[in-house]
Structure 1
Amino acid sequence: MMNKAIFLDKDGTLIPDIPYNVNPELIRLEKNVVDGLRKLESEGYLLVIISNQAGVAKGYFPEKALLQVETRLNSLLKSEDIKLSGFYYCPHYPGGGSTKYQSSCDCRKPKPGLLFRAAHELNIDLSRSWMIGDILNDVEAGHLAGCRSILIDNGNETEWIMTVDRVPDHKVSSVNEAAEKILNTFEIPKYEQRLEQL
């Protein structure tokens, strides 16, 4: 049987958003995430991070620095008896300074490439999975991959450019609240229902 997953944006969702930070000492879990992640994991969801990391393309830090970020996140979650099943990131940015990373890609959200890759590698049924993030690019990436999507409405989304794929299935204030919505959602919102919200 295929797995179901919760895809989590990293900065501003799982941890506080400190722009371009790769210093493990500054990484901590966001408030109101632990209980929700525990409940989701207990219901059989894999927990998978999906993160844009344009700092690599912009030359702010080397790609290998993300290894210590992954290690720190695994450690923080393990200390709460939570298992992280995957850490996927996009190092690309079209206007980046490094020619190696400035090419167009299918993995930078709102494109769904990282979710497709995770689904392939971790045997995930995207139709039974959710994307949680703090901006509408996260919502769109989830929907384009065939997931349902939740927006953590914490002020980090400032443009509010709406299309049908950018309409979240739920808007909440924390991952804990998102978990409650997920565990109490039995009907899959239809494309037409999102269209009506535009």
Structure 2
Amino acid sequence: MNRRRPAFFLDRDGVINKDTGYPYRPSDLHFIAGAPEAIARINALGYLVIVISNQSGVARGYFTEEDVNQFHQQIKRKLKSYQAHVDAFFICPFHPQGSLESYKKEHFDRKPNPGMIEKAIAKFNIDRDRSILIGDKQTDLLAGHRAHIDSYLFDQNNLEHFVISLMKNRWP
């Protein structure tokens, strides 16, 4: 029987990457201060790192799912120099006001719904009771709460400091 592991669920834009308004090109990758170090710290603690990200730019026709995948490959490449890694990326490319008909719909994966979190829990046998979600918007937190995951609003400018503070408060 596989042992269940805890995870850190991280929103992408505004938590890992600076939210510059629909970033998708590899050159749009600008880590939030302390993000790579925070991910390395989370990895070292034995947590999975799962990125969950609404990507309505796909539904709006700004970029493709392949563009999003290329952006995630760039994140993976850049994290290697910090001895850090993301275990999985989950995206929701759908939006009810999208301009591309195939993506124009409400979807259970779109935050504040918990769909991406639930898929990750099932795929990776995640222990939700020991897991944490960090997001920069109320929709992120609501998705976490709906999935019964402890959720925290990142409203600071250094993710590593935030994670250290969280860990101290959780396990003094």
Structure 1 residue runs of 5 or longer lacking an equivalent are: 155-172, 188-198
TM normalised by structure 1 equals: 0.80
1:86 aligns with 2:88: yes
**Residues 45-66 of structure 1, C-alpha deviation per residue, up to 9 Å, x if partnerless?**
1111100000010111122111
**Equivalences for residues 49-68 of structure 1 within 5 A:** 49-68=51-70
Partner amino acid, structure 1, of 2:136? D
Pairing 1:183–2:130 present: no
- The alignment of Structure 1 onto Structure 2 pairs a total of residues equal to 169
Higher RCO structure (Cα 8 Å, ≥6 apart)? 2
Contact residue 37 and residue 84 of structure 2 kept, 8 A: no
- AA aligned to 1:98 is L
Say which SS state the counterpart of residue 53 (structure 2) adopts: strand
TM-score (norm 2): 0.92
Task: Say if 2:51 and 2:89, in contact at 8 Å, map to a contact too.
Answer: yes
1:134 aligned residue: 136
CA deviation string 1:159-186 (max 9, x = no partner):
xxxxxxxxxxxxxx53213312332234
3-state SS in 1 of match to 2:102: coil
Aligned partner of 2:23 among 4, 21, 24: 21
Residues 32 and 186 of structure 1: is their aligned pair in 2 closer, same or farther, counting only changes over 3 Å? closer
Match of 2:153 in 1: 151
Q: Is the 8 A contact 1:40 1:183 kept in 2?
A: no
Which of 28, 45, 48 aligns to 1:46? It is 48
Deviation at 1:77, TM superposition (A): 1.1
Classify the secondary structure of the residue corresponding to 1:127.
Answer: helix
Give, in whole Å, the separation in 2 of the partners of 1:16 and 1:143.
24
Aligned partners of 1:21, 1:42: CA distance in 2, in Å?
28
Distance in 2 between residues matched to 1:71 and 1:89, nearest whole Å: 14
Which stretches in structure 2 are left out of the alignment for 5+ residues?
A: none
Q: Which moved more, 1:174-183 or 1:88-97?
A: 174-183
Query: Conserved in 1, the CA contact under 8 Å of 2:37 and 2:82?
Result: no
User: Offset at 1:81?
Assistant: 0.4
